[in-house]
Amino acid sequence: MATSKQKNKRILLVEDHPDIVAMYKVIFEIKVKAELSVAEDKESGLKMLKDKKPDLLLLDIVIPEKKTHGLQPTARHGFELLKELRQDKDGKDIPVIVLTNLESTRDRREAQDYGAVDYIVKSRTLPNEVADRVNEALEKE
């Protein structure tokens, strides 16, 4: 359960699937009680990181570079975002939880190399468990 300390915390979720965003908004409202902002691509994610200065970043790896009308090409732009974040003096210490469906050891290692505090595979983790792990990360903050 969320603590009163967390009520002023800010989380940025970078996720391009509206259904997943909607689900986490509901779960986090109930279990995390932190302000949740959402970006749907690398470009807006970087902008919101600078503007919102979140206490925690939840980051999908397979996201578009920027929003386009129509077909949105996706690639592993989440790692690019994470790399740029770690090179920025204001972003190097933001805790990051990778929230993705990529399961390879290589992807996990890359996330760890960029300082991710947790790596969650969406398809193998219930939303309530994601919320619990977010709470744990915020408590360490």
pLDDT tens digits for 9-23? 999 999 999 999 999
Residue listed under structure tokens 């002023």: 8
**Is residue 49 within a helix (H) or strand (E), and if so which, with residue range?**
helix 42-52
CB 59 within 8 A of CB 14: yes
Round to whole Å and give the CA distance between 137 and 140: 5
Q: What is the pLDDT of residue 71?
A: 57
Is 5 a residue whose pLDDT tops 50? Answer: no
Round to whole Å and give the CA distance between 6 and 76: 30
Q: b/e per residue, 61-89, with b = 16+ CB within 10 A? A: bbbbeeeeeeeeeeeebbbebbeebbeee
Q: Is 119 helix (H, G, I), strand (E, B) or coil?
A: strand
Q: According to the CATH classification, is domain 8-140 in 3.40.50.2300?
A: yes
**Residue at 73: amino acid letter:** P
What average pLDDT does this structure show over 1-30?
A: 84
Backbone region of residue 82 per phi and psi (left: phi > 0; alpha: psi in -120 to 50; beta: other values): alpha
Q: What is the pLDDT of residue 67?
A: 76
Q: What is the pLDDT of residue 72?
A: 60
- Is residue 140 very low, low, confident or very high in pLDDT (cuts 50, 70, 90)? confident
